[in-house]
Copies of this chain bind each other. A is one copy, B any other.
Amino acid sequence: VTQPGSSTQAVAQLAALLGADCVRTDAGELAPLLVDHRGLYHGNAAALILPRSVEQVATTLAFCNAHHIGVVPQGGNTGYCGGATPDQSGNQVIVSLARLNRLRNIDPLNYSLTCEAGCLLAEVQRAAADAERLFPLSLGSEGSCQIGGNLSTNAGGTSVLRYGMMRELTLGLEVVLADGRVLDSLTGLRKDNTGYDVKSLFLGAEGTLGIITAATLKLFPAARSIATAFVAVADVQAAVELLSRLRNHSGDRVSSFELIPRLAVELTVQHIRPTVDPLPGRHDWYVLCELTSPRADEPLDTVLEDVLADAYTAGLVQDAAIAQSGREAESFWFLRENIPRAQRLDGESLKHDISVPVAALPQFVTQAAAWLASHVPEGRLIAYGHVGDGNLHFNLNQDPLIAAEKFLGRADEVRRAIHALVHEFGGSFSAEHGIGQLKVGELERYASPVELDLMRAIKLAFDPNGIMNPGKVLKGS
């Protein structure tokens, strides 16, 4: 949008407005921020802006809006869809929220806390735990991802089954709009029916409608009883039935229920130390499940043992290990959380972040796996994830004996087939990872024209100059 050459001048003006310390152009400093977590996108940027305050974010956006400069907000840069990577023009600026990292307030009686966008997810979890509360969002990158990114992508993870996604965990927001005005809706109220739910639009908008600078989040009572098991199940259908039994018999205490295929165990044991295979035999499918209760004396281990024993008799379960200590439970989770890294270390992968109605999941996996087996010999299926939400990371990893190029050449065809099948099942091609730049075409293809029109109308109303994370989520935006 800006004329070639004018970037340098704009960056100088921004430095004058914010202080030189907040505007970085050093190539070495910018380099890691110009490529996404998966290495799919490589962009350029006129500068990295590092505001220290909401006011400086506002100043930045007001300036960029006046000069039609594209702004790419960035948190921990752990996204899977290139949503935080600038384009290649070199005219856009990255706005990092890393310095807005204060915990502003924690209110245990109201079960809420208010923190800034740059706080690490793990820090927020810790702050809640220190107040004997639980902030339930939990995902593999929690040590490096930021709350702002979690909010902007409506993050999911391993506790959605019980606690919902980031949108459901958010009570209030502070947002800097495209023109630099600040929307202050940092309420901790549980009930507030005063007009349209404007806040929800920014949750999951991936920075295309404004920059979230702070949020008031819901807390829950801390878990005082926990039972964790690593279970070999007969197949995906058996996993779904086991979940139903566990929910019924535990009084809905299931907080996580993760499906893991054999290959994921093998790759993680092979590539990541010190991963341990929790069970002695080989099984096609596993489930990592966890029950939690805020009551200290709830016999969750007994519930888990009883349900697993019955399920064993019924032929659903083939073997199981119930964690005998917190350390053992951690080792189960270590395996689960390192699957994505093991996949990366093993070679190239084609990822599909899909969801279907829970009851349809077994049939979907059967059909999709059969198609892949007969059509894509270059890849090995690793379908894992959140069975209780109907959400699987339906990934294909490069067969080590096949050249990466040949494998990656199948990407479009495989995506088309998987997403078409997902669509047939009434599912979603983006369950929790969002659109970014990777799936803009898929949104065009699968969203209804009416829904797309409404999204475009909202984008135009909130960001008429189109400066907010251009080209992400909506085509041509």
Contacts and interface: CB of A to CB of B under 8 A. Distances in A.
A144 to B, nearest CB: 20
A252 B430 contact: no
Given A109-B244, A196-B201, A191 B160 contact: yes
A110 B357 contact: yes
A355 interface: yes
A454 B462 contact: yes
Interface in A352-410: 355-359, 386, 388-391
Interface residues on A, range: 35 or more
Given A196-B204, A448-B184, A168 B168 contact: yes
A388 B434 CA distance: 34
A435 B192 contact: no
Contact of A189 (B189, B357, B454): B357
A476 interface: no
A112 B358 CA distance: 11
A66 interface: no
A138 interface: no
Interface string A444-471: 0011101110110111111000000000
Given A182-B450, A450-B182, A428 B194 contact: yes
B193 A447 contact: no
Contact of A205 (B196, B355, B434, B435): B196
Contact of A390 (B190, B248, B473): B190
Interface of A: 107, 109-110, 112, 153-154, 156, 160-161, 164-165, 167-168, 177, 181-185, 187-198, 200-201, 203-205, 209, 220-221, 240, 244, 247-252, 293-295, 298, 355-359, 386, 388-391, 426-435, 443, 446-448, 450-452, 454-455, 457-462, 473-474
